[in-house]
Amino acid sequence: MDLRGLTPAPVTPFTKDGKVDYDAIQRLGSWLGSIDGVKALVVLGHAGEGTFLTSEEQVNVIKAFVKSVDDKIPIIAGITGEGNEVAALEAKRAKDAGAKAGLLYPSHGWLRFGYQPGAPQARYRIVYEGSGLPLILFQYPDNTKATYNLQTMLDIAAQPGVFAMKNGVRNMTRWDTEIPIVRRERPDLQILTCHDEHLLHTVFDVDGMLVGYGNVAPELLIEMIEAGKAKDYVRARAIHDRLFPVTKNIYHRGSHMEGTVALKHALVARGILEHATVRSPLLPLPNGAEKEIYSAIQSAQLSRVSA
Ligand SMILES: N[C@@H](CC=O)C(=O)O
């Protein structure tokens, strides 16, 4: 599977009464899937509120996104179950629903307590063996206890079934040191940045982006990836500057939790969603935020998408 380009992580749209909105999935998926340079969609990620859905909804969301892209690009599913066997069953369900790969999250208890040496490697092995679903290594930020050290990343990347890494380490010392080593030691591993708020700073080192940001500015992010591959700083910087009001209004607002709500407002501004309903525990943004996000989308000259 070739992810050397943009892989957006779509939001999951909801109706005003909180149900999954399958018509809106069709609009979002068919638009993203029609853009040259979009390589795949990762559904049920953080931006997709994946862990806020029942397992039945998760399966239906995967099927709906598969339908929306008309088999033109692969759908990849976020796999989040805490226990490895539970995650393997989740991955099997995703595969049966049409997902072509999985983005495997760390077991979330690790965020608080850390993990025993070898546990991340075992998690990738068990989930792959139990499901046959190819997997993307997910590197969490350095300031969490669920981040993987260099050797752990190298070990996982050498395991059967692991073909790409989504890296969100957010520590530039580690990024600058580790990315060249991973590239040298695991040349077949596709390296994708997920630093939505630091894309300019990471785009020169990667094969692609796997980002929630890809929901709202796919056209410009594809150009930024091309500029990064051409080592064209001036062009990449110009796109970064044009997008900066959008970046600030989505990703500098607070944590990625606010970011998910803001992404939905931005999709309303682009004419894809009708409203920005999110599922609990997410909350609406404070008064005024919606207007600020609309202005940012306008100032970046991101036009309304016609159906
Ligand atoms: N950009 C985020 C997206 C979450 O999936 C990250 O760094 O993890």
pLDDT at 54 (0 to 100): 97
pLDDT at 227 (0 to 100): 98
For 254-268, how does the pLDDT look when each residue is reduced to its tens digit (9 = 90+)?
888 999 999 999 999
- pTM of structure: 0.97
16 C-alpha to ligand 1 centroid (Å): 26
pLDDT at 306 (0 to 100): 79
Q: Name the residue at shortest CA distance from atom 4 of ligand 1.
A: 46
150 C-alpha to ligand 1 centroid (Å): 19
pLDDT at 150 (0 to 100): 98
pLDDT at 256 (0 to 100): 87
For 150-186, how does the pLDDT look when each residue is reduced to its tens digit (9 = 90+)?
999 999 999 999 999 999 999 999 999 999 999 999 9
ipTM of the complex: 0.93
pLDDT at 86 (0 to 100): 98
139 C-alpha to ligand 1 centroid (Å): 9
Number of CB atoms found within 10 A of residue 92's CB? 17
pLDDT at 307 (0 to 100): 61
Positions in the chain whose pLDDT score sits under 50 = none
Pocket test for ligand 1, best of 194, 215, 221, 282 (most atoms within 8 A of CB): 194
Q: Name the residue at shortest CA distance from atom 2 of ligand 1.
A: 194
